[in-house]
Structure formats: structure tokens, C-alpha cells
Amino acid sequence: MPPQVVPGSPQNDKQVYNMVAFLKSEAQEKIMEIKQKAIFAYQAKFLELCREKQGLVDAEYKQLRNNAYIQRLIDSSHKKAAVNGSLISLRSSLVDTVKANVIKQLTNIEKNAQYPALLTNLIVEGLISVQEEKIQVRCRQVDEDIVRKILKNAEDLFKKAVFEATEYTPVLSPLTIDTDNYLPGPYHEGAIEYCLGGVEVVARKGKIVCKNTLDARLELAFKHMLPYIRAYLFGEIPKKQTNGELPHHLTNF
């Protein structure tokens, strides 16, 4: 049997003291171990949260940078569009000015000595275009006397032109002036409706109309010569040089 320790003896007190000291030491080691594990867990969780938050912040600022870049592109595009629109408007205004100057120069053309010959040629062109037997000529009221004098000559020139081209003389009733439907009067400042001159050749009670007025000719000339007019006013636009190869975006997709 182990020796019995008598309570209150010095030997017993020493053993109890040693036991308590041992338990305290074990407790302190356990506390330190738990603290170390808690610190490591805290640091790991803290680093994980920091990385997560940093990722969210980076993504947010990346999106903000992208949005700012896109907005700058949009603003730049709007500014370029505004500048181009102003430039186009200015160029269009200058072209309209050229057209207005031409219209002013054609004012009072009926006083020009070559105007009867011009009307004759316009009537002949209209007759060739319409190719009907019964035809009327519409003109401005101020041109009526001139047109009446040249109708017979226009008929003869038309028949001659057709015969020389086909060896056939067309049947054509004497030309008359459509006095019920005059063309608008000459141009003047502020005029809304006007006619610069020329004629309209009509047949079948107005169902067939060949507009051979100077207004129609002017519109046609500006339509076909607009690139040359712009080049004259603003200079030639340089053409892009190419080596004959397709662009990158068309060869790599």
C-alpha cells in the first residue's frame, strides 16, 4: 500500500503545491495554445476579408475607369459630330449661295439675244422626248411672244432631226401654246414660286409632261456636278492609298 499522507504534514503540503503548480503550468500552456490558434485564425480571416474587399474595390474602380473612358469617347464623338455637322451646314450654305448667284444671273434672261435660240432647242428636245402628234408648249407669260415666233422653226428642226436619224418624217400637228397653264413668272427677290425660263412640252391633256425649264436644268446640273462644285469650293479630298489588300478586320475574324 502507498504510504498514507497525513493531512497537514509538510510532505503533503509540498505535494499539493507541486500539483497546483503543475496544473497552472498546463493551464498556461493551454491558454497560450488557444491564443495562438485564435490569433492565426483571426489573421487568416482578416487577410481573406482584405483580399475580398480589395477585389471588390478593384472591380468597382475598373468599372468606373471603363465608364469614364466610354463617356470620354461619347463626348468626343458628340463634339466631332457637332463640328462635322457645322462644317456640313457651312458647306451646304456656300453651295446654296453659289446656286443663288446662278439664279440671280439668270434673271431677265428673256432680254438676252440668244434666248430665242435656246427656247427653240429646248422645244425640239421636248418634242423628241415626248414623240406625240398633238403637243402643246407651256411657257412663262413674258415669253409668250418669243415662243409664238419660234414654234414653226422648232417644228421644222424636230422633223429634220428625226428624218436624219431614221429617214422618217414624223407626223406632228402645229404646235400651240397652253395659255391656260402658264409657267410661274420670272424670279425676283423674295419670290416663293418662280420660273427662270425655258418651256414644258405636254401631250395627252397634260398626262405627259417633259419639263425642259431652266429651273429643271439647273437642278439637274447641280445634282450631277455637285462633287465638282464642292471640289472647286473646298478643294479635292485626298483619296486613301491602298496596296490592294483587304483590311485587317476583314481578313481576321
Say whether both 190 and 132 belong to one domain: yes
Res 245 pLDDT > 80? no
pLDDT of residue 250: 47
Report which of 181, 219, 218 is spatially closest to residue 200, judged by C-alpha positions.
Answer: 181
Q: Does one domain contain both 110 and 219?
A: yes
Instruction: Indicate the length of the chain as a whole number.
Output: 253
pLDDT of residue 240: 58
Answer yes or no: is 250 within a domain: no
Split at pLDDT 50, 70, 90, the class of 1 is very low
Q: Which of 48, 68, 99 is the last residue before a domain boundary?
A: 99
pLDDT at 5 over 60: no
Residues 177 and 193 in one domain: yes
Is residue 44, in this structure, part of any structural domain at all? Answer: yes
User: Is residue 36, in this structure, part of any structural domain at all?
Assistant: yes
pLDDT > 70 fraction of the chain, expressed in percent and rounded? 89
The range of the structural domain enclosing residue 48 comes to 10-99
4 within domain boundaries: no
Query: Of 211, 206, 208, 220, nearest to 130 (Cα)?
Result: 208
Whether residue 205 sits in one domain with residue 190:
yes
Average predicted confidence (pLDDT) for the chain: 85
Q: Is residue 238 a part of any domain in this protein?
A: no
115 and 225: one domain?
yes
Shared-domain flag, residues 37 and 88: yes
Of 67, 99, 131, the one marking the end of a domain is 99
User: Residue 110 to residues 117, 139, 142: CA-CA distances in angstroms?
Assistant: 11, 12, 8
Q: Which pLDDT score, from 0 to 100, does residue 243 have?
A: 60
Residues 94, 159 share a domain: no
Span 185-203, pLDDT tens digits: 998 888 889 999 999 999 9
Domain identity same for 36 and 51:
yes
Who has greater pLDDT, 192 or 126?
A: 126
Structural domain includes residue 1: no
Q: In terms of DSSP bridges, do strands 198-203 and 135-138 run parallel, antiparallel, or are they unpaired?
A: antiparallel
Per-residue pLDDT tens digits for 41-80: 888 888 888 888 888 888 888 888 889 889 988 988 888 8
Query: Which of 43, 68, 99 is the C-terminal boundary of a domain?
Result: 99
pLDDT for the residue numbered 215 = 93
> Which of the four pLDDT bands, split at 50, 70 and 90, describes residue 239?
low
The pLDDT tens digits for 194-233 are: 999 999 999 998 899 999 999 999 999 888 888 888 787 7
All three cell numbers of 86, joined, read 457645322
Residue 206 lies in a domain: yes
* Domain shared by 45 and 123, yes or no: no
93, 162: one domain: no
Query: For 16-49, what is each residue's pLDDT tens digit?
Result: 788 888 888 888 888 888 988 889 888 888 888 8
Provide the residue type at 99 as one letter: K
Here the CATH number for the domain that contains residue 224 is: 3.30.2320.30
Could you give the number of structural domains in the chain? 2
51/150 same-domain check: no
Q: Which residue has the cell 450631277?
A: 224
Position 243 in a domain: no
Model pLDDT, residue 11? 67
